[in-house]
Amino acid sequence: MQAALGRIEALTLAVLGWARRGRWRQALLLAVLALVALLPGLADLPPTDRDESRYIQASRQMLESGDFVDIRFQDQPRWKKPAGIYWLQAAAALPFGGPEAPVWAWRLPSALAILVAGLATAWALAPATGHAAALVAAAMTATCVMAVVEGHLAKTDAVLLALTVVAMGALARILIGPPRPAGAMHLLFWAGLGAGILVKGPVILMPAGGAVLWHCVAARGLGPLWRTRPLVGIPVLALVTLPWAVAIWLRTDGAFFSAAVGGDLLAKLGEGAEGHWGPPGYYLATVWASFWPWAPLLVLAAGHAWRARSEPGVRFLLGWAVPSWLMFEAAATKLPHYVLPVFPALAGLIALWLVAREKPVPPPGRLLVAAGLFAVPGLVLALAAIFALPMIEGTAAPAAIALGLAAILLLAAGARALVERRLAAFLGAATLAALCLYPAIFQFTLPRLDKLFISPRLVEARARFDACSDRPLAIVGYYEPSLVVAAGTDTRRLSPEEALALLRAGDGWLIFVEEGRGLSLQELVDRAGVPLSVLAAVDGFNYNRGARTTIFLVARSDDPAIAPCLSLASGGGR
């Protein structure tokens, strides 16, 4: 183990030394780390439920309809977030088939945003931490679990992270050092805020406003606020946000803002929206997983940050992180990814401690705690990579097993490096462990868990009978957004009565029926009054409901349109 740690330590120091000799080298290193973490699984992971599929479908419908103002999921308004993310996803999909683009095309804005966030962190934190620490913090930002997860999903959070880092980098240059006349950094700051508002509403104002407030309290005055040149900046922000805001107001007669603000934003503050309630302290409990593998270093770096809290760089990072963190903890609705915009600041505080020439030696107990907080989440991920496929699907992926076992060895090396205070060895071991686990899970495990991804299997089952029916996919019960993404905008959700009426009419209709969700198969047969055939059955696990499910594909046996395809059926007559 000691020899392995020595080699990892030497490799880490050599790579960091090489990267520090030029900005392009830093950019290349960060790009390689981000791409190795992000590319595995980006194309193979099926659309996930529920938020990602809603974003993909709404973006697809913008391309289908040519309406880039209103936001729709099928025929229902989707008035929760502004249009910015949908524009980005539609633009990314356009060169790759437009509405028919593969799922990875819709994810491109998120994946590229994590890449940009990593590169931008190295720039953004430089005034606060210096270039050496900023490089380390940038690598942490781009390779932590939550950044990699969000980089694989077509949602808002990765793009919000990138825009937050850019805006905060401009703010760092405004607040640290002597006052500046209004210029490029002020324009970038306010334009970045406007772009963030267009992507996810006012969330981006929390880190920016928190940092300005923190500095105002430290200065005992409004000087830091006036440094941002709000009289110049607010018109810039308005120029970015108002055109679409006015357009959607006119289009919906103000209903968008009633739903987005009153029905979404304020509801999340006051109650656990969609069941996502969490007590105060939720993020303190979950950060060890969401900011893995770097969160354990917070245990060791926190004291250094507190002692140096009056230093300009540390003050800025604390202002970025602490007020936002407290506001997220105070809100009733909580999800682990909500605090992603503060992770670059946490990474900066860790990196400052790592590069500090003089720092107290952490007590052995604290080192053991940090080692445990590193090893346990990593071990959970490694075991998932090794055993998920055999336990759920009864198959195995040799690559996942090999990468999982390699990660376990690296976890042991990283934990030992922490206990022995060999920080460079820990950085190398943690990075390598993460870069083993991400492809093991995203490339070789998750895409092969067919029982979890029911919607593509339903579309595949229905496609066997396309020669006999040109009807859209229709279903009773199961209706996750991923089904609409997989089957198309014309997918129909039926009530039991509507399903019975279509089956009685014949006319080429094939209906999926989820057992026990409004209409059981036997009840369907009893009430139909016409002979039915079960053409296929799809078993799976609905992870949103936390329950197993069986879905039958049913058609009228004597429907002349369907008769030629009955020989393809895997079920039987009923």
For residue 333, the cross-strand partners are: 277
Which of residues 179 and 419 earns the better pLDDT score? Answer: 419
Of 446, 342, 306, 335, the C-alpha closest to 389 is: 446
Residues 89/268, Cβ–Cβ less than 8 Å:
no
Environment class of 529 (CB within 10 Å of its CB; exposed 0-12, middle 13-18, buried 19+):
exposed
Using pLDDT thresholds of 50, 70 and 90, give the confidence band for residue 526.
confident
Of 58, 105, 102, the C-alpha closest to 481 is: 58
Residue 570: predicted pLDDT: 55
Residue 271: predicted pLDDT: 65
d(CA 459, CA 279): 40
Which of residues 202 and 524 earns the better pLDDT score? Answer: 202
| Collapsed DSSP state (helix, strand, coil) of residue 152 | coil
d(CA 10, CA 33): 18
| From 102-106, 186-190, 277-281, 468-472, the region with the lowest mean pLDDT | 277-281
pLDDT (mean) for 464-490: 94
Q: 399-431 pLDDT, tens per residue? A: 999 999 999 999 999 999 999 999 999 999 999
| Collapsed DSSP state (helix, strand, coil) of residue 541 | strand
Q: 202-216 pLDDT, tens per residue? A: 999 999 999 999 999
Q: What is the largest CA-CA distance in the chain?
A: 84
Q: 58-71 pLDDT, tens per residue? A: 999 999 999 999 99
pLDDT (mean) for 431-448: 98
- The CATH class of the 454-568 domain is alpha beta
pLDDT (mean) for 118-139: 97
DSSP states along 492-540: EE--HHHHHHHHHH-TT-EEEEETTTTS-HHHHHHHH-S-EEEEEEEEE
**Of 372-376, 466-470, 512-516, where does the model show the most confidence?**
372-376
Q: Rounded to 5 degrees, what are φ and ψ at 230?
A: -65, -30
Q: Please, what is the average pLDDT of the chain?
A: 93
pLDDT (mean) for 332-341: 94
Residue 572: predicted pLDDT: 43
d(CA 50, CA 80): 14
Using pLDDT thresholds of 50, 70 and 90, give the confidence band for residue 574.
very low
Neighbouring CB atoms inside 10 A of 172's CB total 26
d(CA 219, CA 231): 21
Residue 521: predicted pLDDT: 83
d(CA 392, CA 449): 7
Does pLDDT of 115 surpass 90? yes
Residue 209: predicted pLDDT: 97
Does pLDDT of 266 surpass 90? no
Residue 274: predicted pLDDT: 63
pLDDT (mean) for 463-477: 92
Using pLDDT thresholds of 50, 70 and 90, give the confidence band for residue 367.
very high
Q: What's the 3-state SS for 6-41?
A: HHHHHHHHHHHHHHCCCHHHHHHHHHHHHHHHHCCC
Neighbouring CB atoms inside 10 A of 271's CB total 12
Using pLDDT thresholds of 50, 70 and 90, give the confidence band for residue 273.
low
222 Cβ partners below 8 Å, 6+ apart? 216
Residue 564: predicted pLDDT: 81
Tokens of residue 412, six digits: 């042991």
Residue 516: predicted pLDDT: 75
Does pLDDT of 178 surpass 50? yes
Give the torsion sign (CA, 438, 443, 444, 445).
Answer: positive
Helices (H), 177-257: 184-200, 205-219, 223-227, 230-252, 255-257
Using pLDDT thresholds of 50, 70 and 90, give the confidence band for residue 332.
confident
- Angstrom CA distances, 287 to 194, 325, 343, stand at 28, 11, 9
pLDDT (mean) for 282-291: 97
Q: 213-231 pLDDT, tens per residue? A: 999 999 999 999 999 999 9
This prediction's pTM: 0.95
Which of residues 75 and 507 earns the better pLDDT score? Answer: 75
Residue 270: predicted pLDDT: 62
For residue 511, the cross-strand partners are: 474, 554
Does pLDDT of 272 surpass 70? no
Residues 452/491, Cβ–Cβ less than 8 Å:
no
Does pLDDT of 518 surpass 70? no
Q: Rounded to 5 degrees, what are φ and ψ at 36?
A: -65, -35
Residue 278: predicted pLDDT: 83
| Collapsed DSSP state (helix, strand, coil) of residue 475 | strand
d(CA 75, CA 16): 53
Does pLDDT of 560 surpass 90? no
Does pLDDT of 138 surpass 50? yes
Does pLDDT of 517 surpass 90? no
Which of residues 244 and 3 earns the better pLDDT score? Answer: 244
Residue 214: predicted pLDDT: 97
**Centroid of chain to Cα 374:** 22
| From 170-174, 179-183, 244-248, the region with the lowest mean pLDDT | 179-183
Task: Return the residue matching tokens 């913090």.
Answer: 137
